[in-house]
Structure 1
């Protein structure tokens, strides 16, 4: 399937094109996708080992993570958007499916305290801090996988999803923890580098702007560096922390993120009649591990950061199962 997608994308199909690659299915498909994803998860493991067992410890990787987030990834997003044609009408189906899938995940996460067999066993503060784990996503891993799965068009599609979903999901992440303390939050969203890069890329694309030929090699090298460093930074940020705390809550939020979300996305792809390439990107997007910044947000808001860091780590490890499940079995 991946080869078929790459051949069609190499011929310049726009985001709304309707190629019909043959997809692997069942156990064989899951194995094929697991092999495809192995290099990316190897980089994550490499980042973890380097951070834990060499002099390149966390103090080194925190600036690297900032470099990727504030400079390298925005360049990658902008480049991936401006160099490919955007069919707004065709992309609307993918955007609608992605947003509705995310809203369903948010609703499930918020509803956990009201489940009769679970609600009474949950700590309210732990739930407020960890609800975000159920619907936020790791942009580092998502961008790398989209490029591997569907080349330039995959990057374009997931860039659009990131640009639309990041503001919505960030608001949903903060709301349970700080209903009364969101001063300046809207301003922070508008200054988010991923949102700025996506919005400016879309505007430039619609206005017909293209990166000058003489600048393309430099931009391409920056984009390539962002993927490798982003994946290694995701590994360096893993913490096992308090994984044994609130086992039922942990199971619930991770099940929503890595099992319920792909199933919902599968239904949305059918409902919106997405083409095979869009379906592949949406399923990959829905099965991503949660955002590595979840624990940073929880800690800054005065909640149990180490517990959320443990959930982020476990989510990243379980992503090695959820992504082949979504792309192999569901796809």
Structure 2
């Protein structure tokens, strides 16, 4: 477990660096808001596109992994939705926070995949992102729809991560080969996405947002960090995934939630402060849940 935790340590230190810079230097929140936009609209889409185009996906060989990712996210959506029927649960906070239980931090997922298995693992995570980001966004937007007049379809069609991933998949299937100059340029642009993205996650951490509805917070975080990793482990066995893909599925299932949960909640009239607290707690819990899940995976497979 220590070796896996050390694998995550560089990413965790980048998050700490972003948190520290935002609060104790002139690089305050407005600076990091601009960094978030840069990563979201340019750096991260370029990283996804180039990762997918460079790596042969072999759709038939990744069908089981794709099914595992969709089933994992689907389980989270169902469980988070069922919390609406629990007596005493505040409907507004549940609608705002439900997304925390099933969305995932793509920055951390890609950074970890690169360390676990190089470009092949990055391509597998990119495939999971391609399939699960739309599903997560549908679940999140649907949950918040009652609090605003936003169109789910329009939000999905404008998502740069989805657009870049679809473009990468189409390019890969068409056998697209980028010219060397373009490939190097895109590689350098995409290479900036992970460190800046992780630092932006740290800059966005907020404490104190969970003073209300603590029971709901515990339930949502338990789904994200306890239930879904177990689901990922079981699906890897049930679907007879190759070892590398099974490991990526487990890591994917144990990810901290997406930092953009706050943005969506605030934009669609949800309880942004509460969601910010959930995102902060999930980011910290992810530094434990990922090593634990991967250690269980290693022991299950005799590693």
TM-score class, shorter-chain normalisation, is over 0.9
Alignment of 1:63-78 (within 5 A): 63-78=34-49
Structure 1: stretches of 5+ with no match in the other structure: 1-29
Structure 2 residue 1 is the aligned partner of structure 1 residue 34:
no
Structure 2 residue 50 is the aligned partner of structure 1 residue 53:
no
Q: Which has the higher helix share?
A: 2
- Deviation, 1:243, is 2.1
8 Å Cα contact 2:104-2:255 kept in structure 1 = yes
- Match in the other structure for 2:52: 81
2:192 alignment partner, SS class: helix
8 Å Cα contact 2:148-2:269 kept in structure 1 = no
Once structures 1 and 2 are overlaid, which stretch shifts more, 205-214 or 315-324?
Answer: 205-214
- Equivalent in 160, 171, 177 of residue 144 of structure 2: 177
- Match in the other structure for 1:112: 83
- Match in the other structure for 1:323: 290
Once structures 1 and 2 are overlaid, which stretch shifts more, 164-173 or 218-227?
Answer: 218-227
- Match in the other structure for 1:21: none
Structure 2 residue 225 is the aligned partner of structure 1 residue 258:
yes
Structure 2 residue 262 is the aligned partner of structure 1 residue 295:
yes
- Deviation, 1:308, is 0.7
8 Å Cα contact 1:31-1:328 kept in structure 2 = no
Once structures 1 and 2 are overlaid, which stretch shifts more, 176-185 or 214-223?
Answer: 176-185
- Deviation, 1:154, is 1.1
Structure 2 residue 74 is the aligned partner of structure 1 residue 103:
yes
Structure 2 residue 249 is the aligned partner of structure 1 residue 282:
yes
- Match in the other structure for 1:168: 135
- Deviation, 1:180, is 7.9
8 Å Cα contact 2:7-2:112 kept in structure 1 = no
- Deviation, 1:143, is 1.4
8 Å Cα contact 1:32-1:328 kept in structure 2 = no
1:146 alignment partner, SS class: helix
In structure 2, C-alpha distance between the alignment counterparts of 1:182 and 1:77, rounded to whole Å: 30
- Equivalent in 186, 190, 198 of residue 223 of structure 1: 190
1:261 alignment partner, SS class: helix
In structure 1, C-alpha distance between the alignment counterparts of 2:223 and 2:287, rounded to whole Å: 16
Q: Give the alignment's TM-score, normalised by structure 1.
A: 0.87
1:252-291 per-residue CA deviation (whole Å, 9 max, x = no partner) reads: 0000001100000111111111111101111111111111
Structure 2 residue 59 is the aligned partner of structure 1 residue 92:
no
In structure 2, C-alpha distance between the alignment counterparts of 1:158 and 1:216, rounded to whole Å: 20
In structure 2, C-alpha distance between the alignment counterparts of 1:90 and 1:217, rounded to whole Å: 28
1:281-323 per-residue CA deviation (whole Å, 9 max, x = no partner) reads: 1111111111111111111222211111001001001111000
- Match in the other structure for 2:14: 43
Q: Give the alignment's TM-score, normalised by structure 2.
A: 0.95
- CA RMSD in angstroms comes to 1.3
- Deviation, 1:216, is 2.6
